[in-house]
Amino acid sequence: MHQYTPKRQCHCLWCLVSLEKQDFSLLIRHDYLCLEHEEFLKSKTKKVIMKGREINYFFEYDHKIASLYFRYKEHKDIPLCGCLFYPQRKHLKSIIQSRSVVIVPSSLSKTKSRGFHPLKLSLEICGIKPHDILKKVEDSDQKNKDKSQRELTQFEITLPKTPLTHEVVLVDDVLTTGNSLMRCWDLLESQGHRVIGCVLAINSSWLV
Ligand SMILES: [Zn+2]
């Protein structure tokens, strides 16, 4: 089990308020979030249709989720990985069932400079081992192509070490324009897979 697995914390992972002062409900609630943040992160699976494709999501990407994710990803507040998919792990696992999970990649240079892979880590603490078979082509390798060509060739697929199931769950953290998810979706479909989309948070412009 990963060292960041949230369990029996003395403080809320998100706001650091002491949990020891909390009342008797300690027995029935998560013991790594305060009541306010437990309530906030209690979400059910919702669905949205984007460009004809159905996508499961848990949160609207509002300022609270944005600041949480920014702290995790850019300020490298790594224990916050327990505030993302972890509270939704039962719902997430019911979407995944026995299907393979593939993640939308971030750029290799960003992952290298961060020293960790935010999306991968937030799934791994849920006990989910994603296939990291999609690769983002670095912008520097694309400089001779025009914008539309660049978008089409933004991602590459590599052969998985273990074969994927026919149906795969494609997971991303935050869906803003949807371009990355759609390109990765196309790539997986071109390999004969049926894709089920799932993201942590979605930009509110897709929800109107
Ligand atoms: Zn809190």
Instruction: Give the residue ranges of DSSP H helices in 74-178.
Output: 89-96, 108-114, 118-124, 147-152
C-alpha 109 to ligand 1 mean position (Å): 32
C-alpha 128 to ligand 1 mean position (Å): 25
SS3 38: helix
CA 100 – CA 132 distance, rounded (Å)? 11
C-alpha 43 to ligand 1 mean position (Å): 16
C-alpha 164 to ligand 1 mean position (Å): 38
C-alpha 71 to ligand 1 mean position (Å): 14
Pick the CATH number of 43-207 from 3.40.30, 3.40.50, 3.30.310, 1.10.10: 3.40.50
C-alpha 12 to ligand 1 mean position (Å): 5
Amino acid identity of residue 39, one-letter, is E
What pTM did the predictor assign?
A: 0.89
C-alpha 48 to ligand 1 mean position (Å): 29
Query: Which residues share a beta bridge with 59?
Result: 201
CA 151 – CA 145 distance, rounded (Å)? 9
C-alpha 120 to ligand 1 mean position (Å): 24
List the structure tokens of 57.
């999501």
C-alpha 78 to ligand 1 mean position (Å): 16
The pLDDT value recorded for residue 1 is 43
C-alpha 113 to ligand 1 mean position (Å): 29
- Measured from the Cβ of residue 73, the count of other Cβ atoms closer than 10 Å reads 22
Q: If we measure between CA atoms, which residue out of 177, 152, 203 comes closest to residue 51?
A: 177
C-alpha 36 to ligand 1 mean position (Å): 6
Q: If we measure between CA atoms, which residue out of 57, 46, 58, 171 comes closest to residue 117?
A: 171
C-alpha 86 to ligand 1 mean position (Å): 15
C-alpha 39 to ligand 1 mean position (Å): 10
- Measured from the Cβ of residue 70, the count of other Cβ atoms closer than 10 Å reads 11
Per-residue pLDDT in tens (0 to 9) along the chain, 208 residues: 446 667 777 889 899 988 876 665 555 555 788 889 999 999 889 999 998 999 999 999 999 999 999 999 999 999 999 999 999 999 999 999 999 999 999 888 888 889 999 999 999 999 999 999 999 887 666 667 676 666 667 899 998 888 999 999 999 999 999 999 999 999 999 999 999 999 999 999 988 7
